Structure formats: structure tokens, C-alpha cells
Amino acid sequence: MDPSRWPSLDPELVPLVELLPDMADGLDDIDAAREMLAGFIPNDPPAAEDRVEMTEVPVGGTTVRIYRPRGVEGDLPGLLHIHGGGFALGSAEIDHPQSVGLADELQAVVATVDYRLAPEHPYPAGVDDCYAALELLAGWDGVDPTRIAVQGQSAGGALAAAVTLLARDRGGPRIHFQVLEIPVLDDRLDTPSMRAHVDTPLWSRPQAEQSWRYYLAGQEADQYAAPARAEDLSGLPPAYVLTCELDPLRDEGIRYAARLLEAGVSVELHSYPGAFHGTTMAQGSEIATRMMTERLAALTRALAPG
């Protein structure tokens, strides 16, 4: 891609963008997209893997992975980590290094779920799987049920926000904190950033349109499919919301954060200039490092005892 099309692009990200192909039609061939993404699974184990134990638990029609730091006694905070992928891609295996790192760095029990993917399993399959994983985590031996957070990136952000709404509305497990990173929230696709960013790196309007077609499969979206449609955001847990300037999802994340604030919910909002959807893949860059460091610090503060 030609980085000169985005004058505000962070200079450190220019070499990466030059290598990226135009992915506007990246979701059209699901099998090819899944195969390509699977190629990003590292061959070597994560650095902290020997400090973390993992258990796989079948739940409903899927599997939940539970990660716990080794040799740590007592009840630990819990984190439900939900992967992204446009509702149609991704897996717990691809996110394995991140889940290991979160369990080790936060000294928390981390649950990650292989939720069923669209288009084979449209809404509400993914939400149902993630909510079942939340219930499992909240009742897991060695988890402090008063210190549970939910985190999701991109489509995982939609699922994290949906699970948080469901927990409130069903009187389910008490979620203490929510992290919505570059979140998908609105199927109406009518924000200024969604209208403007039709060809941005890694994620653009055509991909967003296709992902919603897969996920909804002709259904009308409700607030648990598209959390931006929720009329009442009161009574939800504090939130950390991360958005990027050159991302079609930018404005729906900012609008949701503003509406949470209006509803009396405490929010920390970070909108990163010069960044695009998935900038954290630019490991070693100052902006990606800052994103990951600040997100981890917010979770650390939220999950601290007392």
C-alpha cells in the first residue's frame, strides 16, 4: 500500500504499510483468510509459558482455555480475553501467546474462548459462547469473583461489550472492568470514519460490511449483536476504550465511550493519532509499545486487590 495516501500516518508505521497488500476483499474467501491467519501462529512457545499452566474445558459447542500462573496461592483476579477477526476469523490458538503473557504479567486467571465463527455460526452463537466462558471463569476455583474483567479486540470488542451488557441484564457474573480495543460496535456503518476509510490498512469499510453480513446472516441487529444500539448504558462497569485515527471503527468506539460517560460510567479513552486498525502488530514501534503498555497498566489498576 502507498503510505503517502495517509499524511498523518505515524512515521514508524510507514515501512509496515508499504509491505501490506490491499485487503478490502480479504473476507470474501473465508477459507483462504483463515489459512493465511493460521500462518501467523508462532512455532516457538511464548517466553512465559513455563510460568503458566493451561487447562482446556469443553463448554457448550466450544472450548475454553484457562490460564493460571504457576505456584501462586489464593484467589486471583479473572480476565475473559476475546479474540478478534471480523466475527469470522481467529482462534484461541492464535491468541495463545497473548493469553500466556496476560496471565503472567497480570498474575491473573485468563480465560479465552474458541467461540463459534460466522458465517457457519451467525449471531448469537459467538455471544452465547463468550457468555458461557464468563460464567465458567466466574465460578472457577481460585478466581476472585469480585475482580473479573472482560477484554476484546475488534470483533472481540463487540463480544466483550455484548457480554458486559448481558451480565448486567441477566443479573449474571459481576464484571468489574471492560477493555474495548479498536471495537466493532455498530452495524449501521454510518459514522464519519466508517464513510471515509474505505481503503485503510488492515481494516476498511468493505471488510466491515462483509463481516456484518456474515455475522447477522440477514437478521436485524439488537443491542447484543451491535452494542451501539443499546439505549441504556447505565450500570455497566468502568471501561478502557482504545481507538485509532486511521480506522473505520474509530468513531463508533469514541461515541460508545462518550455515551458510557453520559450514562455515569467511568471511562478512560485513548485515541491514537497516526495509527491504523491492528497497529499493535508493529511490534517494537513506539506507538504499538505505548498501546500495549497503557492497556496493561489499566488492567493492572482495575484488577488490583481492594
Residue pair 33/24 in contact (Cβ under 8 Å)? The answer is no
Distance, in Å, from the CA atom of 305 to the CA atom of 274, rounded to the nearest integer, reads: 36
Rounded to the nearest 10 degrees, the angle between the axes of helix 155-170 and helix 125-138 is 60
Pairing of strands 143-153, 76-82: parallel
Instruction: Exactly one of 154, 204, 211, 285 is catalytic; name it.
Output: 154
Instruction: Exactly one of 91, 176, 277, 285 is catalytic; name it.
Output: 277
Q: How far is CA 46 from the centre of its chain?
A: 20
Q: Does an H or E element contain 112, and which?
A: strand 109-113
Active site residue 176: no
Instruction: Exactly one of 197, 247, 251, 285 is catalytic; name it.
Output: 247
Distance, in Å, from the CA atom of 216 to the CA atom of 122, rounded to the nearest integer, reads: 6
Active site residue 81: no
Distance, in Å, from the CA atom of 80 to the CA atom of 95, rounded to the nearest integer, reads: 12
| Residue 254 grid cell | 469514541
Active site residue 247: yes
Q: How far is CA 26 from the centre of its chain?
A: 19
CA atoms within 13 A on the CB side of 254: 15
Residue pair 166/224 in contact (Cβ under 8 Å)? The answer is yes
Distance, in Å, from the CA atom of 133 to the CA atom of 195, rounded to the nearest integer, reads: 35
Residues serving a catalytic function are 154, 247, 277
